[in-house]
Amino acid sequence: MKILQFAFAGALALATLTGSAFAQSSDNVITIELKDGPVVVELRPDIAPKHVQQIKELAAAGEYDNVAFHRVIKGFMAQTGDVQYGDMKDGYQAELAGTGGSSKPDLPAEFSDVPFERGTVGMARSQDPNSANSQFFIMFAPGDFLNGQYTVVGKVVEGMENVDKIKLGDDANNGAVTDPDRMISVKVGK
C-alpha cells in the first residue's frame, strides 16, 4: 500500500511540474487565427531571443492582426508579417507588401543549426542577413538550402492543416498573391 501511495504522490508531483512548466512555456507560444482555424507556434527564445521578443511585442500590440500572406509558394512556404504595408484593414498596399517592416529596428541574425522542416517558422529578410524585422514565413516542406542562412524562430505545433489551406500565389510572379488570405489575429499564448 505504501508503494502505491508513493507512486501516486510521484505521479501527482510530475503532473504538477509538467503543468507548471507548460504554463511558463505558454509565454513562448503565439496563436495565429486563420480563416480555416488556429495555428499554434512554439517560439524558440533559446536560439533566437531577440527575434522572438520582437515577434511577441508586435503580436501583443496587435500589429500582426489582419496582415496579408503576401507571398505563398506551393511546396515551399507562406510569408506574412509586413505590418507596414500588409495590414488589410489599415493601409494595405499590395504593390509594396513584402517590402516593409515595423516601427521597431531591424535585428542582427541569430542563425542556428535548427533545420528548416515542414512547419518551421523563419524570419524573412533582404540580402542583408541583419535585416529581419517583422516578416516571417511558415514552411510547407523541408528547405535545407535555408539552413544556417535564415533565423529560425519557432515551429507550428498545432494547426498545420490550416496553414496548408492558405491561398497560393502566382508561381510566375515569385508567389505574389492577389486578394490574399490574412492573419485574422495573432496573440501571445494559446
User: What are the DSSP calls for 45-56, one per residue?
Assistant: TTT-HHHHHHHH
> Would you say 49 and 105 are in contact if contact means Cβ atoms under 8 Å apart?
no
The reported pLDDT for the residue numbered 16 is 41
148 found inside a domain: yes
Q: Which of 80, 48, 57, 55 is nearest to 151 (CA)?
A: 48
Mean pLDDT score, 110-114: 98
pLDDT-derived band at 159, boundaries 50, 70, 90: very high
By residue range, what is the domain housing residue 92?
32-188
77 found inside a domain: yes
Residue 182: CB atoms within 10 Å: 23
CATH number at residue 77: 2.40.100.10
The reported pLDDT for the residue numbered 77 is 98
Residue 152: CB atoms within 10 Å: 25
pLDDT tens digits for 15-68?
A: 444 443 433 457 999 999 999 999 999 999 999 999 999 999 999 999 999 999
The reported pLDDT for the residue numbered 25 is 59
Mean pLDDT score, 175-181: 97
The identity of residue 168, as a single letter, is: L
Q: Which of 109, 115, 136 is nearest to 124 (CA)?
A: 136
2 found inside a domain: no
Q: What is the rounded distance in angstroms from the CA atom of residue 109 to the CA atom of residue 29?
A: 21
The reported pLDDT for the residue numbered 12 is 40
18 found inside a domain: no
| Count of domains forming the chain | 1
Query: Of residues 7 and 136, which shows the higher confidence score?
Result: 136
72 found inside a domain: yes
Q: What is the rounded distance in angstroms from the CA atom of residue 34 to the CA atom of residue 185?
A: 8
pLDDT tens digits for 137-153?
A: 999 999 999 999 999 99
Q: What is the largest CA-CA distance in the chain?
A: 72
Percentage of the chain beyond pLDDT 90 is: 86
Mean pLDDT score, 57-86: 98
Locate cell 507556434: which residue? 41
The reported pLDDT for the residue numbered 14 is 42
Q: What is the mean pLDDT of the chain?
A: 90
